[in-house]
Structure 1
């Protein structure tokens, strides 16, 4: 696999093709977008903004494309160094068409960028949840080897009880959508795609979506191709790799984690305070110091409870989001295994056909096995095999071998390129995860520091009287 160079990658794993498409000023504006003061959409400065034109599906679902398939986004992105889009924010959740059956929530998306292809250094546009779904689906389809961040789940209890337009739900959704766009902004490839640029600044987003959908639909496979790929996926689900690559083996670690509910800990402090209060009534000589100790315990328990209520919910939601991000990476690993499995199965099939051809050329008739034995007997009962029929079979087998050799070579190129892409994705994923964990744990530590600082004054008033208690020996 090491013999294949980087130029082979664009023909097997680079999935963006087709001529660049430029929206025209005559296109009607989008109904779900609002023009912001600094979100001018310059068409001349946006080559390739029309988005990708997908190639046809190859063996095992790999898309084959032109050698220049990434030219559009490469021209759009420029050098792939540094973060292309930063300071992405989702804010101002607004309920649109309230009181009608078409009510939805739109969000203002703002960002900063230094890419010259953008019409503004501070692009902005208003988008709804379905627009985020369209963006992610398009990125997953165009870049199957990239780890596309997940979106917040839509099937929540708020949709059942009709509370999805409440301020609390809109705020939680806003935070999740902002995290989704920030992860794409940190990705060195996804952040430089034409569809991401259109999402951030296009005032004609609905027109862009329709054109993108029509373009990708026209290049999709026929229904038979979809059924073939589905059957291949079902068969590969029950197959195992013969030579798994150790670089892509997921190690599952199990550990027992001590879980303590902070709310229960707050109750324990309050129970201890009640006990200390009772002790103060019994010990008349040290009643005042014990009462101060009891008040300090109550204050500290209240601080723990308040910190738990304010910090735990956001912390857990972010952790769940990171777990969903990890599952997206596992999905890419499964797709990589499928590419390797396609290569192994095609290689085994080629070996079997070559063996059958060698046996036929040597005069041994059909291959080994019970089925081949019965097939040979039936052929002999029908009058035997002539030299002409043997030559015709040899010709068919030679043609099949040539076809399989090309397929094996293509599958090997695809698998090798997919391996290189997944290794690069792993580095990007780890860097993004470390960045988020640093911010997450830093915010949690800051909350702990604030909580303990608030209790310092109470303990400073409590400790000196306790130290003055004299205990007779």
Structure 2
């Protein structure tokens, strides 16, 4: 369906029959350590400087109004060109038997209005769930729609760990140069965001998640207007600030959640440092690669004036060129595998802090009521009833957070192991390739030297 100017139409399709497990082809679910084959960003992209977060303007994008996405699939050739082919991206034999919903975010399109320029993404859903009216849906969503979904999930499940969205930021001086790269990076992050929700045992059945996947643009706009109003949100913010001003920490925080707070503090520091160092290493590798690109041709030019050394100099130039190409491939793998994993969990650390604060806020309410009852500031019967409700609320919050915490840690460990293992394998392949290149050169030089020695000995009387 072609989107209208509003930026997000939706269409449902008649129920198709889902293919059997043998129909799966290439897995498209994006996990750290699984770069999309030939779908690579331009080699050695410049790293734009992050200036500021755009929290005020709800839908400002960073694209010029003449930005063209006519060849948008050029940077993602593995993405299906039609929703019907989406199902072939998954290896059904690798999926758990209980998986009954598959989501793909693809086909970004630029929309230009008199006021703004923004991007919409196609969201294709295939499912066998009974609560859905159809087995296949195709809608277009813009970034602010994803923000709405995340906000609704946080409101409905305050002590569950909601997956992070990519930040909405403004870049300086690189509008024309990084469009495709930026769009593709965001598309991957949005794809992962929806699939994280779909795989979550609770969030996947959220009513707003279903609405996001299925309804047309005007219906989604209607649902968005039904959210909490400005004054309600301001009231919640003031209440939260007042609570934090009263104490800052809760009384008698249970030991598991005290350990969680300590863990998140350390995790945030370590993952942030690892992200910074990795990007610094990438920059140094890029500088090294640029030097190699200048180093090789010098040997070729030199060979033109040194007849006796011509073959040797050309051989060195060829080896340097091969090593340069191998370095570029290793850097692309680094940016496709390690960077997304580290950055996603850097965002997760902020989300975890927010979840723990919301849990503490619930317990702080209970502590305040207990103190009021102890001091007999109000009627005991009314307070006892409120305390009973708050105790149940705290227990539910603790149980849901504990279960989600265990699930998150398991997922984080798997993702980090996969990313580091893939980076290690790429490094091994890189060094093996470079070593083989130079060993081949040395072998050829020894052979040449041996032949020359034999010819010289034969010429002697």
Instruction: State the match for 1:89 in structure 2.
Output: 104
Instruction: State the match for 1:210 in structure 2.
Output: 222
Question: 5 Å matches for 1:39-438?
Answer: 86-96=101-111, 98=112, 100-157=114-171, 166-203=179-216, 205-211=217-223, 213-214=225-226, 216-217=227-228, 226=236, 229-230=239-240, 232-236=242-246, 238-248=247-257, 249=259, 250-251=262-263, 252=266, 260=281, 261-266=284-289, 292=315, 295-309=318-332, 311-312=334-335, 315-353=338-376, 400-437=379-416
Q: Structure 1, unaligned stretches of length 5 or more?
A: 1-28, 41-80, 354-396
Instruction: State the match for 2:88 in structure 1.
Output: none
Query: In 2, are the aligned partners of 1:83 and 1:186 still within 8 Å (CA)?
Result: no
- Give the drift of 1:108: 0.7
Query: Take 1:193 and 1:151, find their aligned partners in 2: how far apart are those partners?
Result: 18
Query: Take 1:164 and 1:294, find their aligned partners in 2: how far apart are those partners?
Result: 31
- Give the drift of 1:426: 0.8
- Give the drift of 1:336: 1.2
Q: Which has the larger radius of gyration?
A: 1
Query: Take 1:31 and 1:436, find their aligned partners in 2: how far apart are those partners?
Result: 37
Structure 1 439/90 Cα, relative in aligned 2: closer, same or farther at 3 Å? Answer: farther
Query: In 2, are the aligned partners of 1:85 and 1:185 still within 8 Å (CA)?
Result: no
Structure 1 145/344 Cα, relative in aligned 2: closer, same or farther at 3 Å? Answer: same
Query: In 1, are the aligned partners of 2:293 and 2:324 still within 8 Å (CA)?
Result: yes
SS state at 2:136 partner:
coil
SS state at 1:240 partner:
coil
Query: Take 2:234 and 2:431, find their aligned partners in 1: how far apart are those partners?
Result: 65
Query: Take 2:235 and 2:7, find their aligned partners in 1: how far apart are those partners?
Result: 35
Instruction: State the match for 1:394 in structure 2.
Output: none
Structure 1 288/195 Cα, relative in aligned 2: closer, same or farther at 3 Å? Answer: same
- Give the drift of 1:409: 2.4
Q: 1:178-210: per-residue Cα shift (whole Å, max 9, x none)?
A: 12112111211111112111211223x432442
Query: In 1, are the aligned partners of 2:124 and 2:137 still within 8 Å (CA)?
Result: yes
Query: Take 2:115 and 2:233, find their aligned partners in 1: how far apart are those partners?
Result: 34
Query: Take 1:266 and 1:328, find their aligned partners in 2: how far apart are those partners?
Result: 37
Query: In 1, are the aligned partners of 2:153 and 2:162 still within 8 Å (CA)?
Result: yes
Query: In 2, are the aligned partners of 1:84 and 1:188 still within 8 Å (CA)?
Result: no
Query: Take 2:202 and 2:102, find their aligned partners in 1: how far apart are those partners?
Result: 17
SS state at 2:169 partner:
coil
After TM superposition, the structure 1 stretch with the greater mean CA deviation from structure 2, 333-342 or 323-332, is 333-342
Query: In 2, are the aligned partners of 1:296 and 1:458 still within 8 Å (CA)?
Result: yes
SS state at 1:123 partner:
strand
- Give the drift of 1:453: 6.4
Query: Take 1:164 and 1:127, find their aligned partners in 2: how far apart are those partners?
Result: 24
Query: Take 1:39 and 1:232, find their aligned partners in 2: how far apart are those partners?
Result: 52
Query: In 2, are the aligned partners of 1:90 and 1:177 still within 8 Å (CA)?
Result: yes
Structure 1 233/156 Cα, relative in aligned 2: closer, same or farther at 3 Å? Answer: farther
Instruction: State the match for 1:38 in structure 2.
Output: 13
TM-score (normalizing by structure 2): 0.62
Instruction: State the match for 1:378 in structure 2.
Output: none
Corresponding residue pairs, total: 351
